[in-house]
Structure 1
Amino acid sequence: MMLVVGGAHSGKRTFVREKLGFAADDFVDAAQFAEGGVPAAFAGRVAYCAEELVRALDADRALERLIGFDVVILSLVGSGVVPMRAEDAQWRERAGRLGCALAARADVVVRMTCGIPQVIKGNLDDAPRGTQGAGAPLEVVFVRHGATAGTEDHRYSGAGTDEPLSSAGERALRDLACYRDVFRVITSGMARTDQTARILFPNAELMACPGLREMDFGDFEGRGAAELKEDARYRAWVDSWCETRCPHGEGKNDFTRRVVAAFREACKSERAQGSGRAVFVVHAGTVKALLSELAVPKIGYFDVHTEPGGAWAATWDGRYLRDVRPASGGDAR
């Protein structure tokens, strides 16, 4: 993540747009996220006016809303004339604390003065880049891991359940074609994705990306709908279409934002290595989150169905997934 700070009208957005290649519609006003979560489509883009977010939230909650953006723009409001109103002084204090927290997390921090950037942390070569400088499209393949005991018993097996493939799941994968000319595969790092990758792509180096793990189902982990049907918390979660958080776990928006941010970073890494293709072995929910938020034309979250060992292919242009289709054998070659 990159933090850009400076006074009002100091050239912060112009710098991010012209020097880093972000398009005008990559920018989103952070103030609008005070009352709710950040739509995952904005994760990995640019949030500006971050200081306005702490008019309604404390610095810790504001920081939670901004995690996942590639660039955060913050106006410096803590210096100058001492405000007469107590609420203005408190807002400036919160904005200062937010700036400190963002700078601690950021890989690169730039201060703008009169349109001139000064790097005060990190190296500008490591700064994120927008789609206008994204380069050639990247072909991507998403493979769902094979069946586990939890899959077969229709239990919620998420980020908190690291179970292996079942015997039947392994056999089913071995009946599929393996691709010996794929040499790098990105997994969630969980046992079931790593096992699947080793079966289908035996010559590939595995790169673990924990941000691509399945939703954290919290108290529902390892349990099925039949067992949970009398649990009022479970009924409330289902009735919300998974928008609310699982007790001690994630909600759909939190989960999707996490997955989208991790996917963007993984694709940047693949491009940096000169690859024109990225193969992911992940989870059913992960694929739902990515396709529902990034696919063009739009696909509904609950309209994405991937059987164990099933796959999707698409073209990633740095902003959207295009030409989304069920994967054929040739897509992984």
Structure 2
Amino acid sequence: MIFVIGGAYQGKKEFVKKEFHINEQEILDGEYCNYEELLQAKAICGLERLIYRRMKEEIDVYTFIDTWLKENKDLIIICNEIGSGLVPVDAFERKYREMVGRIGCLVAGYAKEVYRVQYGIATKIKENKKNDQEIKESAIIKVYLIRHSITKGNLEKRFIGSTDESLCEEGIALAKEKKLPFVCKVYVSPLKRCQETANILYPNHETAVISGLRETDFGDFEYKNYEELKGNKDYQKWIDSNAMSGFPNGESMEDTNRRVEDTFLHIIKDAVKHQYDSIAIVTHGGTIMSIMTLFAKEKRSYHDWLAKNCEGFLLEIDGGSACYQ
């Protein structure tokens, strides 16, 4: 894939025609082409117009573009840069400009070569001489582990495992305050509190719901707090074990760690396969503690990896490591 960017009327299309021996009839116009044409195209001019049209049609543009790029990997894409200048007053125009920037990052990530054209002069700003296998084996993947935002049960300090409750007002407000780095894909627990958090933090992102990211099953302790459990013999036994003995009629620590380890390896393999260099995992406190205990280079005790609501940790994973192949 080749990506050509620059301001309007700077000679991008002429550069593509001359450099890559493409004629005018082989270059689609992003304002008018349909999906079937995109799948067969050699080149497209006006990626920003395609994005605008799809946003007006209320399509999930990011997922649409990502799916298209995976199906047509030998494409030449031409795009006007629109991110400079004054910030638009209109809300849709601001969202559109942001989306063009985000999708530009996505395309540049897939592209083996990226050119910027100014006044008819092309400058190569990315060249990937490695083959696909070498890229796969050298990939470092940034993994943002994010705990869901606040729920009513969190405020009441309850064990919230399998209970599928939504964010409370405080949780929605907290998530809206956060500004997180761009990622290529978001993996999320199937429970509402995580999906709602992911939708606020990463709107218009490709999202995969992964069952194995669910919270620990707290069994007899589910949705109870200290006031309701104090004096309970099983609860005291759990306290005496430094909270490591598992939960009566729920999941053991061994079962939780095994499930989480298998799930995390599955996610990393998917990221390596699609050459993602950054992903987010929106999940639960217990799931994050298991991942960090198992995979972080820094060694801490399990409970030292507890993240606050809507916070978490960054892992850098070597996608070329044998354990992820």
Q: Does 1:265 align with 2:266?
A: yes
Q: Which residue of 1 aligns with 2:221?
A: 220
- Measured at CA, do residues 134 and 253 of structure 1 come closer, stay the same or move farther in structure 2, by a change above 3 Å? farther
Q: Given that residues 145 and 193 in structure 1 are in contact (C-alpha distance below 8 angstroms), is that contact kept between their aligned partners in structure 2?
A: yes
| Aligned equivalent of 2:170, options 164, 168, 171 | 168
Q: If each structure's helix is expressed as a fraction of its own residues, which one has the higher value?
A: 2
In the TM superposition, 1:1-333 aligns within 5 A as 135-158=138-161, 160-177=162-179, 181-317=182-318
Cα distance in 1, alignment partners of residues 212 and 138 from structure 2:
24
Deviations 1:84-116 (A, max 9, x none): xxxxxxxxxxxxxxxxxxxxxxxxxxxxxxxxx
Flag as ranges the 4+ runs of structure 1 deviating above 6 A.
none
- Measured at CA, do residues 176 and 248 of structure 1 come closer, stay the same or move farther in structure 2, by a change above 3 Å? same
Q: Given that residues 183 and 203 in structure 1 are in contact (C-alpha distance below 8 angstroms), is that contact kept between their aligned partners in structure 2?
A: no
Cα distance in 2, alignment partners of residues 191 and 183 from structure 1:
22
Deviations 1:213-253 (A, max 9, x none): 11110111110022101111111122112332311111222
Q: Given that residues 296 and 320 in structure 1 are in contact (C-alpha distance below 8 angstroms), is that contact kept between their aligned partners in structure 2?
A: no
C-alpha RMSD over aligned residues: 2.1
Deviations 1:121-168 (A, max 9, x none): xxxxxxxxxxxx85422111101110001110000001x111110111
The 3-state SS of whatever aligns with 2:314 is strand
Cα distance in 1, alignment partners of residues 137 and 287 from structure 2:
23
Q: Given that residues 246 and 252 in structure 2 are in contact (C-alpha distance below 8 angstroms), is that contact kept between their aligned partners in structure 1?
A: yes
Q: Give % identity.
A: 32
Q: Given that residues 212 and 282 in structure 1 are in contact (C-alpha distance below 8 angstroms), is that contact kept between their aligned partners in structure 2?
A: yes
The 3-state SS of whatever aligns with 1:143 is strand
The 3-state SS of whatever aligns with 1:296 is coil
Cα distance in 2, alignment partners of residues 183 and 274 from structure 1:
9
Cα distance in 2, alignment partners of residues 217 and 254 from structure 1:
12
Stretches of structure 2 lacking an aligned partner (at least 5 in a row)? 1-135
Cα distance in 2, alignment partners of residues 242 and 256 from structure 1:
14
The worse-fitting range, judged by mean Cα deviation, of 187-196 and 293-302 is 293-302
Stretches of structure 1 lacking an aligned partner (at least 5 in a row)? 1-132, 322-333
Q: CA deviation at 1:320?
A: 11
Deviations 1:278-314 (A, max 9, x none): 2101111111111112211212111113111112112
1:156 counterpart letter in structure 2: F
Q: Given that residues 162 and 192 in structure 1 are in contact (C-alpha distance below 8 angstroms), is that contact kept between their aligned partners in structure 2?
A: yes
Cα distance in 2, alignment partners of residues 137 and 183 from structure 1:
13
- Measured at CA, do residues 244 and 313 of structure 1 come closer, stay the same or move farther in structure 2, by a change above 3 Å? same
Q: TM-score, normalised by structure 2?
A: 0.54
The 3-state SS of whatever aligns with 1:255 is helix
The 3-state SS of whatever aligns with 1:235 is helix
- Measured at CA, do residues 134 and 285 of structure 1 come closer, stay the same or move farther in structure 2, by a change above 3 Å? farther
Cα distance in 2, alignment partners of residues 189 and 257 from structure 1:
18
Q: TM-score, normalised by structure 1?
A: 0.53
Q: CA deviation at 1:264?
A: 0.7
Q: Given that residues 267 and 278 in structure 1 are in contact (C-alpha distance below 8 angstroms), is that contact kept between their aligned partners in structure 2?
A: no
Q: CA deviation at 1:178?
A: 5.7
Q: Given that residues 260 and 291 in structure 2 are in contact (C-alpha distance below 8 angstroms), is that contact kept between their aligned partners in structure 1?
A: yes
How many equivalent pairs are there?
Answer: 187
- Measured at CA, do residues 178 and 289 of structure 1 come closer, stay the same or move farther in structure 2, by a change above 3 Å? closer
